[in-house]
Amino acid sequence: MSLSDNAKLFYFDEDYQAAKEFSQVQLESADVAALTKRAKEIADAKNLLLPDADALLERCIVALLGGHIVLQGPPGTGKTTLAYVLAETFNATAHLETATADWSTYDVIGGLHPTSNGGIETLVPWLGHVPRAALECASVISRHADAEERKTQPYQAHWLIIDEFSRAEIDKAIGPLYTVLGGGGDDVPLPLWFGDSEERSAVWLPKRFRIIATMNTVDTNYVYTFSQGLSRRFQFVYVGVPQKEQLEAELEQARISAAKWYDTAYGGQQYKDTYAGQDFKVDDFVANAKVAHATSILLNLLSALRYGDEATNRPGWPLGTAQVVDVYRQLALRLPATGDTTDALLPALDLALADRIIPQAGNLTKVQLDATEAWLQAQKLPRTLDALQHLRMASSTGY
């Protein structure tokens, strides 16, 4: 088959089952070592610091070579960024959908969508997230397979990332996809009961197609659980916080990420107008003495609270790197207005911790909250301490 991009897209749009021709094409490489090395390079370029990175990335690569994957762990640990890293590693494009409690088979598989045609209300077929992504994947595969068209389609596949996977009642919403993802016996297409023709009554999921889902394991009061049958259709990989020995590297990467954000958003003329006509430089922020003093306090906080205490059986508070980046962003915003002393940024750090970190403590146990309060009482962070005490009071009284 040799068709133009538009013709192929139109072809699959009119005849979903025509994508079957490309459904048996496997991923181009199963070189675990090479793919893991590439994933590490991409993650490093995105300032993504992962715990036991080589082993974690290898587990993800092996899981994706075999099928679909769920990245689970605390919020702020880089799961969504990692999902894009993995897609890029396999030379696949990807788009993201965020699951909600309202999801049904209509969202995942599709259904009939009301529309108006010449003033007459009618129902037309609408493809859900999975078959739409699968058809896009088949289209990418078809264009990539053509020697001429590969020049404009260098990617080998298209994948679907589902963020906050457990916020939807997936066991109900997944519908007939449950069987298709089973992976046992002969391949079967995904039936579309709402198809308006035989050609549009089913979709074949390409063997190159993958679903990467992310799942927050902390907010258990606001999410759904999975059946064992559904869990078997995905490989679950835990993405935790960086290890204790990675703290200094983590905080450096967090400073770099925050500084790059600030430079992109506000590092132009507005910064010059505010800060004595000087240019904002990422390296200068990372090495700034006031930022370094704030970093020493953040290092102390994470060392004391994140990893728990075996002697007292106190579990750790798994604060993610993303929350630390949020703190550094606030420091970057407030830095121009601070004085020249090394501790001049301390009030800004106090406000950032009160506003960005303490609200994350709502699900902590009493033992964890006691440890956090004890640590704060030894610091010069009165606003953060007040915020924690207010959170504890609100939790116990409802005010």
Helix (H), strand (E) at residue 117: strand 110-117
Contact call for residues 242 and 51 (beta carbons, < 8 A): yes
Q: Would you say how long the chain is, in residues?
A: 399
Structure tokens at 213: 């889902």
Residue 17's contacts (CB-CB under 8 Å, 6 or more residues apart) are: 189, 198, 199, 200, 201, 202, 203, 204
How far lies 310's CA from each of 303, 305, 314, 377, in Å? 13, 12, 6, 22
- How would you class 121 by CB atoms within 10 Å of its CB: exposed for 0-12, middle for 13-18, buried for 19 or more? exposed
pLDDT at 253: 94
**314 pLDDT higher than 80:** yes
Q: Domain ranges in the chain?
A: 5-238, 244-397
User: What integer is the mean pLDDT of 303-331?
Assistant: 93
Is the domain defined by 5-238 classed in CATH 2.60.40.680?
no
pLDDT at 94: 96
State pLDDT tens for residues 51-62.
999 999 999 999
Nearest partner of 201 among 6, 383, 19, 396, judged by Cα: 19
Angle at 367 between CA 366 and CA 369, to 5 degrees: 60
pLDDT at 274: 65
DSSP assignment of 335-347? GGGS-SSTTTTHH
**9 pLDDT higher than 80:** no
Residue 208's contacts (CB-CB under 8 Å, 6 or more residues apart) are: 25, 26, 27, 92, 137, 141, 156, 157
Q: What are phi and psi of 72, to 5 degrees?
A: -115, 150
Tell me the percentage of the chain whose pLDDT exceeds 90: 63
Tell me the percentage of the chain whose pLDDT exceeds 70: 92
